[in-house]
Structure 1
């Protein structure tokens, strides 16, 4: 996507400006020529997507002064300095001060194109990371657990979570292992009027069958051997708040009858007691299997299934919202970095390709574990993302190269639309493509610019 990406050329010599501009135009870039550094700075904005090329020796503001001024505004913007034969020491000093590269006169066109290409790649990566960081900060400013993502699937889920949290109804969450059912349950609770009351999570598959009834409903002193004192159960403890029953398909059939009664009557009796305790709770259940099929097979009570199935929220697996994977990875890396006191290494284009190519059978949990390893080990040569992925299991559902390219292109266009609030001209300028090309790609990927004008905030 090098088409018409801008390159600023700053030199007081007209013939050099013309020669450099002609070479870059033939290479597919958009040359912008300036006779002075002051004129170039007047046109330079914060998100300029290209590269600056400037002669060192110029009247007024010279190349070194321009370098310092540019990096005060944006330290990530690549600046290439043109040096004369006697300016090598100055060029070395410029590199120490952050110049991207230098060109010694006279330089061949191939050398110019190679330096600009590397600078453009660096700039694209810098802007991509800047955008991801800004979007993460915007999403992290929202109260409660965050549903990170821009795909239609996660946006629909976020809208449903917001709507359901405002009404009193039990909820059934359906999704694969690691898809984030616990996060969605907490998001519903935190956005509801019950947020100040307890959120009690119970993994029905992790509690031994012999004690799960006591854990849920509590018991009186002497109710059974070892019951030396009264114990309040999870349901009673959660009074006024939310009970989250994870892996509800693992609950014993004998206990499902009692759970059904609790859900219908909103009362619980401790083991060893005949006195019902009124409950004011919301119940959120989660399952990774189809409870309808489980009930037909006799593995789950049909009446309990229909009682839970008031509102069902499907949680999309990660492979069905691949465009969210880089953003979600950055989110997990930022959390891990904050917790460990370390800095999260930047995610480069090859890393994004590795993330998009994986099938993620473990979903968001698998991605989070990878992000934590990435932060703790660092993006060193031995611990690059592709090397870290070698220890991750896959179901073999990798994407082909054309699919990865299409997905990466769609992600870049979607992020540019979001950043510029759907303004097509600004998107064309950032991506360096003509308007017709952009509209063709919008149709190809099913994107509509007007959606980003109305949905400015994730």
Structure 2
């Protein structure tokens, strides 16, 4: 058993000789201390209040429950033996109600069976009283680092899956509209307001959302993109809000939702116009209350997430047709950033093409291609129905082949208005069929990788098959 602390309330920060784990995430953490001993609460609060963003305390689980309903916490330090319900009983109740954050159980009376029960109930760590400040600080550091690592790994796995169809950089460009978008991002990004990004498919809505996140105070926290059109209607609530074990057939274990992975950061809802009506109502309530209810849970859980939504649909028309809730539209459209199609800003084609060649040649490990005047003239004249994404795909395909398609710069192309569409349509077709083959013929997965809607892919495949 660790050495005893004569008077925990009198103890301050750990001595320099003590080995305290350093957690880079402690300074931004919000921690709840639950203990019926005033001396222990005072000791923990005094030790933590200079080290983390926020510390709250409660003398019993009833007071702690009220605090949890009012604000999100990253970690709970929970005493086991208290009047009324024990810490273990409350912990089981928390896990059963959908609370996913880490809990460190502390107790002066414990044996191996209690420790095993605590871990089975969902405790992240188990610390015996009396303890020194370095012991509890090390336990806190482990929990915060492990939790952050799990969330980062989850987000990175989603990023890696999205890489084959990654959105193209939008910020490169000299057109008036692109400069206006950059100015809007700089102005709106640092604010907490919800933003709705509109524009045709492939104009760079996700990149704009990432830019908003990057210039905000949330830049160090996760950016979690969600393609609402790519998630089946029957599971989208579970994907966004999480679920409890046994909440529905196939729910073998509890799972956090995307709102929880985006905690403290930005949740990007792409194709928000594709949300089912029932989910629109639930999202509206989340925006209004800043709380989510996991599927199967009895209580709501506070969340701290900035929402950025995007759509290529005309939401005003959808509202008029009764397909999208008017109140949700107004909640999302606090600030609107509209992205013009590439055909309306030809000045951006050359900067984007140069950027893509530099980026993709390095990633593919192939020599860059020269953008000659005839090639640039061709690319600038082409109407780009697929917008920036189509330009990126053309550059990638050309780099893989080692040259631009022969008919991209046909002799006399400046006078041949029909040549551009023919050449680039062929490149687009080859690229989309290649991605579809890599996805094993799974159209939903291919559409996700290509960053286009399933409807778009189906329409093109139908046209190509006659």
Q: State the TM-score, normalizing by the size of structure 1.
A: 0.53
2:191 corresponds to 1:204: no
Alignment of 1:39-58 (within 5 A): none
In the alignment, is the contact (CA less than 8 A) between 2:192 and 2:306 conserved in 1? yes
Pick from 337, 347, 370 the counterpart of residue 394 of structure 2: 370
Pick from 278, 302, 327 the counterpart of residue 303 of structure 1: 327
Pick from 278, 286, 292 the counterpart of residue 316 of structure 2: 292
In the alignment, is the contact (CA less than 8 A) between 1:374 and 1:388 conserved in 2? no
Q: For the residues of structure 2 that align with 1:241 and 1:182, how far apart are their CA atoms?
A: 15
2:230 corresponds to 1:230: no
2:392 corresponds to 1:392: no
2:190 corresponds to 1:158: no
Pick from 323, 326, 340 the counterpart of residue 347 of structure 2: 323
Alignment of 1:243-262 (within 5 A): 243-262=267-286
* Cα pair distance change 1:370/1:380, threshold 3 Å: closer
Deviation at 1:390, TM superposition (A): 3.3
Q: For the residues of structure 2 that align with 1:199 and 1:167, how far apart are their CA atoms?
A: 16
What's the CA shift string for 1:342-390, capped at 9, x where partnerless?
Answer: 1211111111111121111100000000111222222378475558963
2:288 corresponds to 1:264: yes
In the alignment, is the contact (CA less than 8 A) between 1:150 and 1:324 conserved in 2? yes
Q: For the residues of structure 1 that align with 2:351 and 2:178, how far apart are their CA atoms?
A: 13
* Cα pair distance change 1:194/1:262, threshold 3 Å: same
Q: For the residues of structure 1 that align with 2:375 and 2:265, how far apart are their CA atoms?
A: 42
Q: For the residues of structure 1 that align with 2:347 and 2:289, how far apart are their CA atoms?
A: 44
2:354 corresponds to 1:357: no
* Residue ranges of structure 1 left out of the alignment (5+ in a row): 1-143, 395-458
Deviation at 1:195, TM superposition (A): 1.1
* Cα pair distance change 1:200/1:151, threshold 3 Å: same
Q: For the residues of structure 2 that align with 1:145 and 1:274, how far apart are their CA atoms?
A: 43
Partner of 1:24: none
* Cα pair distance change 1:196/1:145, threshold 3 Å: farther
Deviation at 1:190, TM superposition (A): 1.3
* Cα pair distance change 1:296/1:384, threshold 3 Å: closer
* Cα pair distance change 1:332/1:233, threshold 3 Å: same
Q: For the residues of structure 1 that align with 2:351 and 2:218, how far apart are their CA atoms?
A: 30
Q: For the residues of structure 1 that align with 2:170 and 2:421, how far apart are their CA atoms?
A: 26
Q: Which has the larger radius of gyration?
A: 1
2:196 corresponds to 1:172: yes
3-state DSSP class of the match of 2:229? coil
Aligned length: 251
Deviation at 1:215, TM superposition (A): 0.3
3-state DSSP class of the match of 2:235? helix
3-state DSSP class of the match of 1:342? coil
Q: For the residues of structure 1 that align with 2:229 and 2:377, how far apart are their CA atoms?
A: 36
Pick from 348, 358, 365 the counterpart of residue 334 of structure 1: 358
Q: For the residues of structure 2 that align with 1:196 and 1:306, how far apart are their CA atoms?
A: 29
3-state DSSP class of the match of 1:392? helix
In the alignment, is the contact (CA less than 8 A) between 1:220 and 1:231 conserved in 2? yes
Alignment of 1:265-280 (within 5 A): 265-280=289-304
Partner of 2:265: 241
Give RMSD over aligned pairs.
Answer: 2.0
In the alignment, is the contact (CA less than 8 A) between 1:374 and 1:385 conserved in 2? no
In the alignment, is the contact (CA less than 8 A) between 2:315 and 2:324 conserved in 1? yes
Alignment of 1:32-181 (within 5 A): 147-181=171-205
* Residue ranges of structure 2 left out of the alignment (5+ in a row): 1-167, 411-418, 427-466
Structure 1 ranges of 4+ moved more than 2 A: 378-394
